[in-house]
Structure 1
Amino acid sequence: MVASGLARWSLAAADPGISPNEDGLPGLPVVRSIVGALLTWGLVACVAGLVVSVIVWALAHQQGNYQYASGGKSGVVVSAGGALLIGAANAIVGFFAGLGSGV
C-alpha cells in the first residue's frame, strides 16, 4: 500500500512539459509596450514624489515643523524605494521565475 502511494506521488510530480509560449496569444508586443509605458510613468511619479518630499522636508525643517519634516523624510524613502522596485522589476520577476522553474 505504501508503494502504490509513492507511485501516485511520483506521477503527480511529473513535469507536464509546459513552458511559456510567446506566440500563444495575439497582441503580446502591444502588452509589452503598455507595461513599458507604465514603468516610465511610475518612474516619473517617483521623481515627482521625491522632489515634492525634499521640498516639504527642507521647508518644514527650516520652519521648525518637525512633524512635516518627518513626513518629508518618509516621502523621500518611499519614492526612492518605489524607484528601486520599478527599476528592478524585470530582474525581480526573472529571478523568481527562474527560482520557480527549478522547483
Structure 2
Amino acid sequence: MSAVLDILTTTLTVAAASGLVSAEIDVTPNDSGLPGIAALRTIVGAVMTIGLILSVLALIVSAIVWGFGANSSNPHLASRGKIGVLVSCAAAIITGASVTLITFFWNVGQTVS
C-alpha cells in the first residue's frame, strides 16, 4: 500500500511540475446546450404535478384505512393507515421541495474545492 501511495505521489508531483494538471476547470449548466430543454422542463413539471396528486390520493385512502381500522378494532389496519398517512405526507413534502433540495445541494457541491 505504501509503494502505491509513493508512486501516486510521485506521478502527481511530476504532472503538476510539468503543467499537465489544469489548475481550474469551469463548467456551468446552460439552457441552450441541447435542444428540447424547455420541453424537458415541462415534462418534469407535469410529473411533479402527478406526484402531488397521487400523494393527495394516497393520503385520502390511508386516512380511510386508518378510520376503518380504528372503528373496527383492528390495530393492524389502523397502524397501516397511520403509516400510509405519514408516507404520503413525506412524499408530498419531498415532491414539493425537490427543486429547492436539488438547488441547495448543487450550491453545496459548487463550494467543494
Fold shared, TM-score > 0.5 on shorter chain: yes
Greater RCO, CA 8 A, separation 6+:
1
User: In structure 2, do the counterparts of structure 1 residues 66 and 6 end up closer, same or farther at CA, with 3 Å as the change threshold?
Assistant: farther
* Alpha-carbon displacement from aligned partner over 1:28-87 (angstroms, at most 9, x marks no partner): 010000000000000000000000000000111000000010000000000000000001
User: Greater CA radius of gyration, 1 or 2?
Assistant: 2
The code of the aligned residue for 1:54 comes to A
| Aligned residue in 1 for 2:56 | 47
User: Which ranges of 4 or more aligned residues in structure 1 deviate by more than 4 Å?
Assistant: none
Q: Number of aligned pairs? A: 102
| Aligned residue in 2 for 1:66 | 75
Identity of aligned residues (%): 40
1:16 CA drift (Å) = 1.0
Within-5 A mapping of 1:1-103: 5=13, 8=16, 12=21, 14-103=23-112
Gapped runs of 5+ residues in structure 2? 1-8
The code of the aligned residue for 1:34 comes to I
When normalised by structure 2's length, the TM-score is 0.81
